[in-house]
Structure 1
Amino acid sequence: MAIRTLGRRQAVAPAPTADETAWIEVAGLEKLYRPRRSEPTRALSDIDFRVRRGEFVSVVGPSGCGKTTMLKILAGLIPKTAGTVRVAGREVTGPLPQIGMVFQAATLLPWRTILENVMVPVEVQRLDRARYREQARRLLSMVGLDEFEGKYPHELSGGMQQRAGICRALVHDPAVLLMDEPFGALDAMTREYMNVELLRIWRESGQTIVFVTHSIPEAVFLSDRVIVLTPRPGRIAEVVDIDLERPRDLGVMASDRAGVYVDRIRRHFHATGVMG
């Protein structure tokens, strides 16, 4: 299926202190959960990293290491315990319009059409509906869903729903797209297809993406860099630069060069007795 071009991406006006070499900046991040009836749990400890503007960075690690927690902190959905988190030069203390998020499930509203679902952030932020309705249609066209804008979620496949979810996250033109294992529930063939689709969307939209996944091969295939977290409390074990040419097709996954990166990342989990 052909993906049509979205067109020139609207410029995002960063804060005056925004630095494109540190479009996302995390320093000394700590997260401690304090339940009322049990002992505190340290989810993240001493996390430091930067993401450049337009970069695709994946985060991998064993279950329970704090990957989703870190993404929710970046999105401003939950508070940090300590440290600094900035996106596009702005301190993250709550949800920011500069951030879009795609969850593990598409979470589309069943009573709304696909176009109406994509428009949800526009309505929440009280943006110009006429302007962004056209933006929503361009996005749906870009991912091959223009003929389905009047359909309801139950009429679409899982992969199509996830594409609609990506459009919803992109419709207000955020500076950063955060993705929390968006393809984890899909079958293997659909997941591979969606990986290729995502790279095309990224190339067309120019977003900065932070992508959480349990799949090491997926992270290597998609990313410019991969952040490897340790078992809980999550700390950064290594940040691996992925030197594979772009654009990439599925053949890259089976290449020897990709295999070297996969093995390098996987060794972290073998060393700790945890399989990634």
Structure 2
Amino acid sequence: MAQTATKNAASEVDPSRWIVVDDATKVYTTRTGEKVQALTEVSLTVQRGEFVSLVGPSGCGKTTLLKILAGLIPHSSGSVSIAGKTVKGPMRETGLVFQAPTLLPWRTILENVMLPVEVQRLDRSVYRKRAMDLLEMVGLDGFEKKYPSELSGGMQQRAGICRALVSDPEVLLMDEPFGALDAMTREYMNVELLKIWKESGKTIVFVTHSIPEAVFLSDRVVVMSPRPGKIEEILDDDLPRPRALQMMNSPEAGVYTSRIRTYFNAEGAID
């Protein structure tokens, strides 16, 4: 009943304002009492079903903004809402994929995927079928009884994505999920992620240091400044969909990549 009520409430929210960040700032206090401003006056609106990437130099606040959206840390001022609800802590509306898959080594792949179901005390019989469907969708059917050590890095990350999706969140937040993978596996995972996004219809906010990756994946790319992080520009990415991997190196994609790079080259920063 709670899940149904959540879905009904979500259906009444303006889909063009699915995620709303309004003038948000974040100030950390160090152990010595020093104030460090990570984000300043960040405003962003994300549509339902949109794929938005955040790019910027290290330390610009990309992951901080993602953690605020996930409800893992509070913002210092401004407002943040998802699906019409003010973000005050972790929400069922969001699923989070980390830089590393962080699978529990003593649990099978299916048991790892089912972890959010256990934590949220959802109906295991209902969500076990969803977990199996997700594993099939990402090409891991037949691996549900394997342990993480028996899977490659890319397969583990796909299992991590299934774990984030199993409770059927409205928004998928991804913090550099492919950064630790080799180049070929990373490209494969980019294509797989677009398939997952298309089939699931989820809203995705994706943090990456790779400008070409952001351009290849996204509907819009949010370019952030060095700390204190603020939004320099939001680029509409009009590359046609569906997108094949060779599009990443196309002249059309190069135009977007070159434009984004100008922000960081001017600061002496690299992605």
TM over 0.5: yes
**Structure 2 equivalent of residue 250 of structure 1:** 245
User: Are 1:104 and 2:99 an aligned pair?
Assistant: yes
The amino acid of 1:97's aligned partner reads: R
Match of 1:239 among 228, 234, 240: 234
**What are the equivalent positions in structure 2 for 1:82-231 lying under 5 Å apart?**
82-231=77-226
**Structure 1 equivalent of residue 256 of structure 2:** 261
Q: What's the CA shift for 1:274?
A: 1.3
Indicate conservation of the 8 Å contact 1:16/1:89, yes or no: no
Indicate conservation of the 8 Å contact 1:226/1:242, yes or no: yes
Q: What's the CA shift for 1:36?
A: 2.9
**Structure 2 equivalent of residue 3 of structure 1:** none
**Structure 2 equivalent of residue 8 of structure 1:** none
Q: Calculate the TM-score normalised by the size of structure 1.
A: 0.95
CA distance in 2, matches of 1:141, 1:36: 47
Match of 1:20 among 1, 15, 19: 15
The amino acid of 1:239's aligned partner reads: I
Unaligned runs of 5+ in 2: 1-5
CA distance in 2, matches of 1:38, 1:188: 41
CA distance in 1, matches of 2:99, 2:200: 21
Unaligned runs of 5+ in 1: 1-10
Deviations 1:71-95 (A, max 9, x none): 0000000111011000000000000
Q: What's the CA shift for 1:251?
A: 1.0
CA distance in 1, matches of 2:71, 2:152: 30
**What SS does the aligned partner of 2:179 have?**
coil
**Structure 2 equivalent of residue 80 of structure 1:** 75
CA distance in 2, matches of 1:176, 1:118: 17
Q: What's the CA shift for 1:15?
A: 4.2
Indicate conservation of the 8 Å contact 1:108/1:153, yes or no: yes
User: Are 1:61 and 2:53 an aligned pair?
Assistant: no
The amino acid of 1:238's aligned partner reads: E
Q: What's the CA shift for 1:254?
A: 1.1
Q: CA RMSD in A?
A: 1.1
Query: How many pairs align?
Result: 266
Q: What's the CA shift for 1:38?
A: 4.6
Q: 1:158 to 1:16 in 2, by over 3 A?
A: closer
Deviations 1:94-126 (A, max 9, x none): 000010000000000111000000001111111
Q: Calculate the TM-score normalised by the size of structure 2.
A: 0.96
Deviations 1:126-183 (A, max 9, x none): 1110000000000000001011000000110000000000000000110000000000
**What SS does the aligned partner of 2:172 have?**
strand
